[in-house]
Amino acid sequence: MRVSIREPRPGDADAYAAAVLRSADHLSPWNPVDPDGFHELLRRQGPSLRTFLILNDEDGGIVGKVNVANIVRARFRNGTLGYDSYLPYAGTGRMTEGLRQVVDRCFTSYPDGLGLHRLEINVQPDNGRSLAMAKRLGFRHEGFSPRMLYLNDDWRDHERFALTAEEWPGA
């Protein structure tokens, strides 16, 4: 492995802002670019949202951010993955490595993991790299959701993908 994952810490704010700013053109077609949103992200961490940073082991740089959002417990045990990759690491395979670690953590039982049974990924149809990521990780296509999320001042269509713990190779 060339990367590791961990939850964000207050001391990551400057490195996070630099990674987002450096990657603004890379991110802006798909997601809002908010280099100042780190402290709000930390504040929102809790039972329904967990964030992981993917870190490059060689230089400690932030490869990407993964949100496990909309976490529902009880009989559903489901979460939704959202992710951003940052330059200069985009396209090097490190994001895939990190996302595999996040999925492992999601499907791992308490206390070491989140104890989820099902994960979803929703991707805008023109975002070829994220579509390829969902497929590379083994998520199956479940359908199309018109006008699913309000992003960058417009309602955006999304392709829906899902994976259960039984389908995950690490299960």
Q: What one-letter code names the amino acid at 86?
A: Y
Report pLDDT for 171: 57
DSSP classification of residue 130: H
**Where are the alpha helices (H) located in 28-122, listed in sequence order?**
38-44, 94-107
What local confidence, expressed as pLDDT, does residue 95 receive?
97
- Rounded Cα gap, residues 15 and 17, in angstroms: 6
Cα separations in angstroms, 57 against 2, 3, 100, 115: 6, 5, 15, 26
Helices 128-136 and 94-107: angle between axes, nearest 10 degrees: 50
- Contacts of 126 by beta carbon, 8 Å cutoff, 6+ apart: 29
Per the CB < 8 A criterion, the answer to whether 92 and 78 are in contact is no
How are beta strands 118-123 and 62-72 bridged, if at all? unpaired
Per-residue pLDDT of the chain in tens (171 residues, 90 and over written 9)? 899 999 999 999 999 999 999 999 999 999 999 999 999 999 999 999 999 999 999 999 999 999 999 999 999 999 999 999 999 999 999 999 999 999 999 999 988 999 999 999 999 999 999 999 999 999 999 999 999 999 999 999 999 999 999 999 865
SS3 for 113? coil
Q: What whole-number distance in Å separates Cα of residue 79 and Cα of residue 121?
A: 9
Nearest to 8 by CA among 94, 70, 85, 66: 66
d(CA 161, CA 123): 8
Residue 113 in contact with residue 128, Cβ under 8 Å? no
What is this structure's pTM? 0.95
Alpha carbon dihedral 21, 26, 29, 33, in 10-degree steps, equals -20
